[in-house]
Amino acid sequence: MLIVLPANGVPPQLRASLRRELEWQGLRQLAPNLLGHPQIDRAALEEILDRLNACTKVVACQVVKSADLGTPSLCDLVKGLWDLSTVINRYRAFLRRCSTLRQLPDEPEVIALQEWFMIRTLLIHAFRRIVLHDPLLPVELLPDPWIGAEAYTLVSKIYRQSLSGSEAHLNATLGSTPREARNAGRQLRKRFRR
């Protein structure tokens, strides 16, 4: 777990900005002026500290497992700090709404290019709205099975299935050159790869 602690003497306004930004990245308050997350993107943390000019004004450190000490486990801490019920309910609703997309035809020409574009756009929009609220905790700390993994698998399948048709629609609409279309396609095919 990563722990972030503002140093003594940090002005209240900066302390509030730090807390707001770090909570947006998924950290939670463990104690007054002490925030933590089991797994956070280091680059995102560095960007926040740099942008707020706070690199020298906080202490950040990794915490060792507490099982040997007989103190509460990280799983217990996670359950108390991150209420996953809302995220779970959103994933369930997403899977209910999008389950019919599992029957999309494998032949892309059966559906109009514009419709492939709409399917991909609406799918990613709906999925992204959930992911923005998902704390993206390590799988070891999540309920087993984790419903987010099922949603990710569905989105990945439909995304790949709709990609060629939706990109063909975009290229035709925007008048992309074949080279531009190939370059964009390479980048897009890398998404949703595990």
pLDDT at residue number 156:
92
User: pLDDT category, 123, cuts 50, 70, 90?
Assistant: very high
Average pLDDT over residues 159-165: 87
Per-residue pLDDT band at 122 (split at 50, 70, 90): very high
Sole residue written with tokens 């000490």? 69
Closest CA to 84 of 27, 2, 146: 146
What does the pLDDT read at residue 87? 94
Residue 67 belongs to what domain range?
2-76
What CATH number is attached to the domain comprising 38?
3.30.70
Residues 88 and 6 in one domain: no
Whether residue 182 has pLDDT greater than 70: no
- For residue 165, give every residue at least 6 positions away whose Cβ sits within 8 Å of its Cβ, in sequence order, or none: 108, 111, 113, 115, 116, 117
pTM score above 0.95: no
Is 126 among the domain residues? Answer: yes
Do both 88 and 72 map to the same domain?
no
Specify the pLDDT at position 71: 65
Task: Please give the span between the terminal C-alpha atoms of the chain, in angstroms, as a whole number.
Answer: 23
Domain boundary among 76, 107, 138: 76
Position with higher pLDDT, 192 vs 174: 174
Please check whether residues 100 and 160 belong to one and the same domain. Answer: yes
- Minimal CA–CA distance to 100: which of 134, 123, 75? 123
Q: What are 46-97's pLDDT values in tens digits?
A: 899 899 988 888 888 776 666 666 666 667 777 777 889 999 999 999 999 9
Q: Which two tokens stand for residue 75?
A: 């799983």
Rounded Cα–Cα distance for residues 143 and 135 (Å) = 13
Do 179 and 90 reside in the same domain of the chain?
A: yes
Measured distance CA(63)–CA(183) in Å, rounded: 43
Residues 60 and 121 reside in one and the same domain: no
**Domain contains 194:** no
Examine the fold and report which residue of 23, 57, 76 is the final residue of a domain before the chain moves on: 76
pLDDT band at 6 (very low <50, low <70, confident <90, very high): confident
Q: Inform me whether the pLDDT recorded for 192 exceeds 80.
A: no
Sign of CA dihedral 81, 84, 85, 90: positive
Residues 120 and 175 in one domain: yes
Whether 116 and 49 share a structural domain: no
Among 46, 76, 106, the domain boundary falls at 76
**pLDDT higher than threshold 70 for residue 174:** yes
**Predicted local confidence at residue 187, as pLDDT:** 64
Q: Do the beta carbons of residue 33 and residue 76 sit within 8 Å? A: no
| Same structural domain, 105 and 162 | yes
Q: What is the DSSP letter of 146?
A: -
Q: How many separate domains does the chain show?
A: 2
